[in-house]
Amino acid sequence: QLQGDYYLVVEKLLSLGLACLTYDYLGTGSSIHDVDISDENQTLQVPLAWHDHIVDGSFYQLFFSYYFLFSNTLLVPVAISCLVQLSSVRRSLLN
Q: What is the pLDDT of residues 46-66, one digit of tens each?
A: 788 888 888 888 889 999 999
Task: Output the average pLDDT for the chain.
Answer: 81
Q: How many domains does the chain have?
A: 1
Annotate 27-44 with b (16+ C-beta within 10 A) or e (fewer): eeeeeeeeeeeeeeeeeb
Structural domain of 42:
2-94
Alpha helices in the chain (DSSP H): 2-22, 51-56, 58-69, 76-87, 91-94
How many angstroms separate the CA atoms of 76 and 81, rounded?
8
pLDDT score at 65 = 93
Q: Record the pTM.
A: 0.76
